[in-house]
């Protein structure tokens, strides 16, 4: 016998102990993140929940904490997302479809793909500068909803493109062949077979990206979104307030009460986020199909 039974016996316990040790280590990593998250959320909720009054939602921003509210910021953020989302989806899903389904598989396509993936790592403040130079100044859009939406859409585009490409790649070749083999055009195959199968993955990417955009502050600072504005936008060319800017502004204030308002603002932002995620999960489950 080449396998020495004595050696195997001797090594068995250390092997199993090592496995348990590693398991504990990984559990520890998970718990650290979880505990910190719970602490953060609970302190925010404790600080802020008492300030979530009706007045808080119906008042504009103010220098007096007792009269400050998030009406302008919520409505502004909703306007911002209402334009960012469709622009981002159109650009990103279009790009992903072109790269995966239509583009010839050559070095140029590969080059474009790599660069789009790299864009995902560019700091958001750089996108802010790009927005300031091109949309705010060059196109003369000023610090409007449209300028900010275009900037944020460009910022989140790489994330959606990469997620959509991954989703498109999971659609089996066999069903593409079946459709193409019956004389369907590329677009018919994409629209009727590939997109319905890829949509859960694409939606996941979109939601991740929008969640990032909704809380993004740096590009808005660079574009010059006002922190004190006593009006809501009535067209995409109007200027607006945004929740993350409002929170950022309050947290800088010296009065202690503003810290509580900050917490309340964060709760509102989180609630918006969770609502969006809920919608996404519903859509995803509706379209979920298995192969």
Task: Report residue 14 as tokens.
Answer: 């250390």
Q: State the minimum distance, in angstroms, from the CB of residue 181 to another protein.
A: 4
User: Which backbone phi and psi does 70 adopt, to 5 degrees?
Assistant: -115, 15
Q: Which is nearer to another protein, 99 or 264 (CB)?
A: 99
Q: How far apart are alpha carbons 87 and 184 in whole angstroms?
A: 29
Q: State the minimum distance, in angstroms, from the CB of residue 186 to another protein.
A: 9
Chain residues in the site for another protein (CB under 8 A): 105, 172, 174-175, 177-185, 188, 192-193, 197, 289-291
Using an 8 Å Cβ cutoff, are 47 and 263 in contact?
yes
Q: State the minimum distance, in angstroms, from the CB of residue 114 to another protein.
A: 18
Using an 8 Å Cβ cutoff, are 88 and 207 in contact?
no
Q: State the minimum distance, in angstroms, from the CB of residue 193 to another protein.
A: 6
Q: Which is nearer to another protein, 11 or 192 (CB)?
A: 192
Q: Which is nearer to another protein, 15 or 105 (CB)?
A: 105
Q: Which is nearer to another protein, 19 or 188 (CB)?
A: 188
| Residue-level length of the chain | 291
Q: State the minimum distance, in angstroms, from the CB of residue 187 to another protein.
A: 10
Q: How far apart are alpha carbons 169 and 189 in whole angstroms?
A: 14
Q: State the minimum distance, in angstroms, from the CB of residue 205 to another protein.
A: 21
With 0-12 / 13-18 / 19 or more C-beta atoms within 10 angstroms meaning exposed / middle / buried, residue 134 is middle
Q: Which is nearer to another protein, 52 or 184 (CB)?
A: 184
Q: Which is nearer to another protein, 176 or 214 (CB)?
A: 176
Task: Report residue 224 as tokens.
Answer: 């010059």
Q: How far apart are alpha carbons 162 and 247 in whole angstroms?
A: 31
Q: Which is nearer to another protein, 178 or 282 (CB)?
A: 178
Tokens 């505990």: give the residue.
35
Q: State the minimum distance, in angstroms, from the CB of residue 289 to another protein.
A: 4
Task: Report residue 31 as tokens.
Answer: 């718990």
Q: State the minimum distance, in angstroms, from the CB of residue 280 to another protein.
A: 21
Q: Which of 74, 72, 50 minimizes the C-alpha distance to 62?
A: 72
Task: Report residue 250 as tokens.
Answer: 């309050």
Q: Which of 229, 117, 121, 127 minimizes the C-alpha distance to 166?
A: 117
Q: How far apart are alpha carbons 90 and 94 in whole angstroms?
A: 6
Q: Which is nearer to another protein, 108 or 291 (CB)?
A: 291
DSSP label of 80: H
């Amino acid at each position: 016998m080449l396998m020495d039974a004595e050696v195997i016996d001797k090594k068995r316990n250390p092997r199993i102990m090592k496995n348990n040790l590693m398991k504990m280590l990984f559990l520890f990593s998970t718990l650290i993140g979880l505990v910190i998250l719970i602490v953060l959320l609970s302190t925010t909720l404790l600080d802020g929940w008492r300030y979530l009054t009706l007045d808080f939602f119906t008042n504009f921003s103010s220098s007096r904490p007792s009269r400050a509210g998030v009406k302008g910021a919520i409505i502004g953020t909703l306007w911002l997302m209402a334009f960012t989302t469709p622009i981002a989806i159109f650009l990103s899903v279009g790009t992903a479809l072109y790269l995966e389904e239509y583009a010839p598989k050559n070095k140029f396509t590969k080059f474009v793909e790599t660069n789009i993936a790299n864009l995902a790592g560019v700091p958001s403040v750089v996108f802010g500068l790009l927005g300031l130079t091109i949309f705010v100044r060059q196109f003369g859009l000023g610090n409007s909803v449209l300028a900010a939406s275009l900037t944020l859409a460009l910022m989140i585009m790489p994330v959606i493109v990469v997620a959509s490409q991954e989703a498109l790649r999971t659609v089996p070749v066999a069903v593409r062949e079946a459709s193409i083999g019956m004389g369907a055009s590329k677009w018919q195959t994409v629209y009727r077979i590939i997109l319905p199968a890829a949509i859960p993955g694409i939606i996941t990417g979109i939601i991740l990206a929008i969640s990032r955009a909704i809380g993004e502050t740096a590009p808005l600072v660079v574009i010059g979104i006002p922190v004190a504005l006593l009006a809501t936008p009535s067209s995409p060319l109007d200027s607006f307030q945004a929740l993350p800017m409002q929170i950022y502004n309050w947290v800088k204030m010296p009065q202690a009460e503003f810290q509580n308002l900050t917490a309340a603002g964060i709760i509102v932002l989180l609630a918006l986020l969770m609502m969006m995620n809920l919608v996404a999960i519903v859509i995803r489950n509706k379209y979920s199909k298995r192969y």
